[in-house]
Structure 1
Amino acid sequence: MTASPVSEKGRRGFVLPSLSVLGPLIALLLACIFFATQSDRFLTSQTLSLVLSQISFVAVIAIGQTLIILTAGIDLSCGFIMALGSIVMTKFAVDYGVPPALAILCGLAATTAIGALNGLLITRLRLPPFIATLGMLGIVQAITLIYSNSQTVSGLPNALNFLGSTFKIGGTPFTFGAVLMLVLFSVAWFFLTQTSPGRHLYALGNNPEAARLSGIATTRLLISVYATAGLLYGVAALILVGRVGAGDPNAGQTENLESITAVVLGGTSLFGGRGNVMGTLLGAVIVGVFRVGLTLSGVNSIYQVLITGILIILAVATDQFSRRKA
């Protein structure tokens, strides 16, 4: 007796989730179980709120980092671009008396322009993304410190602090910055999965020459990816300003590592062409869970940096294993 076509199709259609999908979920589950045993304050709605608040600006940076890594690039300057954006916004509003909305636009324009400059260095001068953005890291850090005189900008108007304000759900406070982060992830998911430019971006990461021969304007697409990432760094700067209530020229020290960690933990390949932005959100949550969990457990903050380094090595090793298996 032969099996029906429907049953055969059902068997053929059943595919186990890939390691890049299962790995982050398992890691998050194990981390939650472990930290729940270390602190009775971990599995609470307040902890969820704290995790979302702490990862909000890093996660927005990670959206831009995801777009870049999908093209087989990388951006090491993201954290300091965010810091410059926060200084431009706050100095324009506080020192120059510019209306807050216009000051925010100036900060977003500055970060977008630097992102586009990264794209131009990579496409026009043919610099490797690692080298171009490493050089830009030093340049932007110096500009930020010189422009701010290494001074924090405080006394901000309420409009610049808005994303740090909270609303309550069931008695638990959540920041508007965390809500904006989730909205941006939804927009990025729609762009990557439901639009032609999103599919072109995957094609560019898989095989740039094949993408060019198929009619995709690869140079223009790559510049727009880096410019869009720069814009997202500016939004992250606004979230950070709202969270800390000031413009800090020394911000952005570790955000490049943390954003890359979130991307690779979420299953996006550093070799380009494979991954999804919702995985990046999951990766950012894992980083946030480890940070908050270690803090609640009374672990010294230096070990948080150690754990971040271990996580990124494990994630890249998993990516390599899945590529070889494929």
Structure 2
Amino acid sequence: MEMETDVPPRTSGFKRIVLCVDASDASHCAARFARRFAQHGVELTIAAVALDPRPLAPHAALAGLDLGVARSELLDDAQRAIAESKSALANTAASVREHLIDLAKENGDVAHALADKAKAAHADLMILGTRQHHGLVRWLDPSVTDRLSQLAPCAMVVVPDKYESPREAGFQRILFAVDGSPTSYAAVNIGALLATPETEIRVVYVVDRAIRYSEFVPMTLLEDAFVKEGELAIAEAARRLESLRNVTRAHVSANLVSTDISADDVSHALLRDAERWNADLIVMGTHGRRGVARAFFGSVANRVAGLARIPLMLVRDQHEEITPDRESKNAS
């Protein structure tokens, strides 16, 4: 079997990375994906959470059960997850550290514990795997991913289970999903740090034709409003991208994408477009504006994370303020 070599410095915009792992296949995929970023000068912390067994078995004491064995197994699982991820990052130039969080000693839940660790590490990127089906024991499920996306102090890349990370570094095709909100523009600015002059970039706005906000508003008027907003949004995103020195103007395209009139939604339309275009990364803002639609149908970003077959970068507008060395990054 051919030995993997060090990842060349092509994603140097992110210097402090927290890789969140558990003992699942999804975490194995995330660890392999993290090799893309494991370069010289990068501090990569592998963080695993050992769950507190007491909330998992609240009546154990009444039944005379000893939770010490369960806690020991949970600690062993977390340590094993760290060791396996560390092995996946072998032969890279990054400085790899490890941190085990024992929730039996620390109050809180998984999402808060990982977000606190990222804050303490001054992380500018978090990476985690996620399964598209819930499990009973592991904690990297879609609900944790959604909660962490609200708490994370930096951009976050969600790697789906079964994802096979290419051997080469860098990203060949990055798709940016925008909705005209400050959050989506923050996602454009931060996601652009992953681009090289060879990267193909596609900016899309999904015109949502499948949602009626009121029977009294003609659907054509809503579509016209969405189209106008979309044209402005993708033009602004393209302008921002083309102003960066690591992005080639000729490699940026911008398009409107539409949902079907019935039995469709924004997340599925976006993923269809990403698949047709052969994107290897989707970048979008999370908890941005979708008005009444988000109140009734939940976070589009969360649904994309639960369905995507390729990595998804999630960004909030606050992340732009935290990311250090903006000028030097954009020049890389």
- TM-score bin, normalised by smaller chain: under 0.3
The two structures have a TM-score, normalised by structure 1, of: 0.25
Q: Which structure has more strand as a fraction of its residues?
A: 2
Q: If each structure's helix is expressed as a fraction of its own residues, which one has the higher value? A: 1
Between 1 and 2, higher relative CO (CA 8 Å, sep ≥ 6) is seen in 1
TM-score norm. by structure 2 comes to 0.25
